């Protein structure tokens, strides 16, 4: 058997709206790692369920659907594009309703099992910054650095509302806050791979931080724990 390639892995977990993807994307650019958005992968399965009129909490129907679909993440120019059965989904997986579908299908063990190898093999091939809910605990327990990113539900709801407005989608702060709290509860209390910090994760609460301040703080953690600096990458 061939030896596995050595790759560096950074796991960033935390609840929705904590700013994981902005931060992970920013860090990936600075230090030349691939950014992997695992939420987008669950969103694709949620999207598939909705397209077929399957209730996302119908474990039996969702599990049966997995045999008929092909979920692919393609990486180009530092961008991760999701494809379902060969069709590029673009921003369709970002619709507010898909957040609910993704959260519900992600509580089904067969879905997590179905996506495990895919996530693991991306990290076996590339230096990655992977964000999600169970990256440090289940997918990459061997990550050299694990960060658990949080912010208050109110701040996360405000950020999500502004994001939706910027994209021209309907957004109501109170509704977004209620949805965030419901999703936190479901993601944290599910029986399989619940959202929780790994024992060796560094906790980072970025309430009140701008995205630039969060990135600066994370770069400091990366330099401190891994000895990787932006300057090194630029050389």
Binding region for ligand DC (CB under 6 A): 16, 38-39, 42-43, 99, 102-103, 106, 132-135, 183, 187
Rounded to an integer, what distance in angstroms lies between the CA atom of residue 121 and that of residue 116?
A: 9
In the bound state with ligand DC, the residue whose beta carbon lies nearer, of 26 and 39, is 39
CB of 98 to ligand DC, least distance (A): 8
Query: 202: Cβ–Cβ under 8 A, 6 or more apart, which residues?
Result: 145, 146, 147, 148, 221, 225
Rounded to an integer, what distance in angstroms lies between the CA atom of residue 148 and that of residue 2?
A: 33
CB of 133 to ligand DC, least distance (A): 4
In the bound state with ligand DC, the residue whose beta carbon lies nearer, of 99 and 222, is 99
In the bound state with ligand DC, the residue whose beta carbon lies nearer, of 16 and 153, is 16
CB of 233 to ligand DC, least distance (A): 26
Rounded to an integer, what distance in angstroms lies between the CA atom of residue 42 and that of residue 85?
A: 15
Task: Select from 124, 109, 1, 106 the least CA-distant residue to 43.
Answer: 106
In the bound state with ligand DC, the residue whose beta carbon lies nearer, of 197 and 230, is 197
CB of 78 to ligand DC, least distance (A): 18
**CB contact at 8 A, 84 and 47:** yes
């Amino acid at each position: 058997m061939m030896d596995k390639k050595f790759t560096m892995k950074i796991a960033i977990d935390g609840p929705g709206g904590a700013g994981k993807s902005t931060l992970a994307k920013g860090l990936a650019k600075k230090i030349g790692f691939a950014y992997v958005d695992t939420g987008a992968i669950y969103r694709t399965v949620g999207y598939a369920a909705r397209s077929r009129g399957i209730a996302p909490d119908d474990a039996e129907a969702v599990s049966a659907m997995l045999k008929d679909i092909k979920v692919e993440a393609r990486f180009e120019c530092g961008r991760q594009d999701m494809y379902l059965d060969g069709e590029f989904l673009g921003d369709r997986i970002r619709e507010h309703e898909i957040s609910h579908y993704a959260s519900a299908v992600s509580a089904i063990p067969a879905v997590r099992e179905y996506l495990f190898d895919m996530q693991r093999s991306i990290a076996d091939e590339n230096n990655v910054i992977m964000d999600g809910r169970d990256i440090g605990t289940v997918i990459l327990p061997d990550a050299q650095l694990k960060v658990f990113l949080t912010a208050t539900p109110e701040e996360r709801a405000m950020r999500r509302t502004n994001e939706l407005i910027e994209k021209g989608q309907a957004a109501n702060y109170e509704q977004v806050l209620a949805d965030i709290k419901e999703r936190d509860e479901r993601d944290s209390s599910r029986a399989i791979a619940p959202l929780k910090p790994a024992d060796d994760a560094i906790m980072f609460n970025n309430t009140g931080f701008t995205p630039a301040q969060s990135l600066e703080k994370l770069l400091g953690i990366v330099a401190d724990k891994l000895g990787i600096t932006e300057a090194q990458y630029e050389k």
